[in-house]
Amino acid sequence: MAMALITGASSGIGLELARIFAADGVDVILSARSEDKLQALARELVVQHSVKAEVVVSDLSVQDSAKTLYEAIKEKGWEVDYLVNNAGFGVFGEFAETKWEDEAAMLNVNVVALTHLTKLFMPYFIQRRSGRIMNVASTASFQPGPLMAAYFASKAYVLSFSEAISNELKGTGVTVTALCPGATETGFQSAAGATGSRLFETRKLPTGADVAKYGYKAMQKGKRVAVHGVINKVLAQSNRFAPRSLSMAITRMLIARD
């Protein structure tokens, strides 16, 4: 039976992806910081879908945590077929005023751990000539984002990195999908300190389940970039043609609190 490693599996899109994998008969390795939430989800998946649901607690904001997670999985003898780099968070505020410790932790999760886990699992996937990788990027990947500058930059990295290695992997049997959701009803804004932002408050948002279902289908098809939602697709394309100064001004207006 196939097995998926899902980081950030305790809530939001990661939790919903775990449910979809399990419903499809795929065993899961659930990783995040909150052991209680992971254990509760594992019990749910075992009862409802009769799959194996393993828990490995990991804080990917800590240096070398990706290697520690990888080694824990190898020590158990679990063979991963799907790598889902979902863990990530944002920091809201003007860059001159935000705390470096928060930004450093965010970059460790969004960029360093994601890249390191991909680096660790890719050679095994290539050797086996099968494997699917999903890196959760964002519609933030497509333009700079004043008031969340480092977060937007981190997601631009995820998209660029994913597209590049997707090209490198042609003919290997391994695929990489960059999932790019827009604003989603996941609790992200609260964690990022962006509650009250127009981006999250002015329209009904898709749920984490909506995005997870779309992303799972895109990954299974081997799609390179998967932008969720018609409006988000249009906006992602329009950013290629609009002046970057205009794009930034609009983005700042949307991110700003009322």
In this structure, are residues 189 and 89 in contact, taking their beta carbons and an 8 Å threshold?
no
In this structure, are residues 228 and 185 in contact, taking their beta carbons and an 8 Å threshold?
no
Comparing C-alpha atoms, which of 69, 88, 66 is closest to residue 78?
Answer: 69
Distance CA 50, CA 177 (A): 27
Comparing C-alpha atoms, which of 190, 230, 232, 207 is closest to residue 13?
Answer: 207
Distance CA 186, CA 206 (A): 9
Count of alpha carbons within 13 Å of 254, Cβ hemisphere only?
Answer: 18
Catalytic (active-site) positions: 151
User: Can you name the residues that pair with 82 across neighbouring β-strands?
Assistant: 4, 132
The residue behind tokens 């394309």 is 237
State how far the alpha carbon of 105 is from the alpha carbons of 82, 190, 206, 224, in Å: 25, 17, 27, 27
